Amino acid sequence: MKKIIMLLLIMGLTLGLLTACSGESEPSSAYEEVEETVEDAIEEDEVDSEVEPEEELATWHSVMENIDYVVEMDMEGYGIITIGLDATYAPITVENFVSLVDEGFYDGLTFHRIIEGFMIQGGCTFGNGSGGSENHIIGEFRDNGIDNPGRHYRGAISMARTPDPNSASSQFFIVHEDSFFLDDGYAVFGHVLSGMEVVDAIIETVEVVPDSDGAVMPANQPVIRSARVIQR
């Protein structure tokens, strides 16, 4: 059962951006890449589920102590989520996110995919997982050859992408509960400093479409009233 849940969650993260970020897609090759990603993630999670070394936790905290930017995200009707960004291991990802915040890209966009116990995903220009910004960035994570030790603990912020490891643009997700099976395959670039109660409230109150892997109807999607850098 655990492996089935992982499969569904990862497929949602990778396929949600397929149309916007990869242009014309070939379904068969895309599904092959997803299957490989799922198998790798399950193997990694099996290792993590057996042992959670203290040194790994210490490494995560040392990474997150280096906060280069602080972003305040005002969620309409919910409150403020304050996010610390660490450019030590994901400088391109952080630069891309901060640039989009500075230009007001996220203002008025929504969280279109919400899964209790997993994450909330937003930053899509169409509100359905198929939109993004004009630029695509390199995936700064270990499976893509970049040593990013960031882990998907509760409160981590990470980039969504297609099966193409270098397809992330504007869509991101905030981890609701520890999701270590995503480690090494997605670029963690910060974490929530305050406002996880806002994430919890969104999880608890937003109605998702039944049997849709977390999709939220446009009328019910939580709106990002504004996002701005308050410290750099």
Average pLDDT of every residue of the chain:
82
Q: For residue 38, is pLDDT > 60?
A: no
Domains assigned to the chain: 2-231 (2.40.100.10)
Residue 64 binned pLDDT confidence (cut-offs 50, 70, 90): low
CB-count exposure of residue 112 (10 Å: 0-12, 13-18, 19+): buried
What's the confidence (pLDDT) of residue 197?
97
4-25 pLDDT, tens digit each = 455 555 545 554 543 333 333 3
- pLDDT tens string 150-184: 999 999 999 999 999 999 999 999 999 999 999 99
> What CA–CA distance (Å, rounded) separates 127 from 22?
17
Q: What is the pLDDT of residues 185-224, one digit of tens each?
A: 999 999 999 999 999 999 999 999 998 999 999 999 999 9
Structure confidence at residue 230 (pLDDT): 97
Q: Could you tell me what percent of the chain has a pLDDT over 90?
A: 71
Q: What's the pTM? A: 0.78
Calculate mean pLDDT across residues 65-82. 95
User: What pLDDT, on a 0 to 100 scale, did the predictor assign at position 66?
Assistant: 85
pLDDT of residue 8: 52
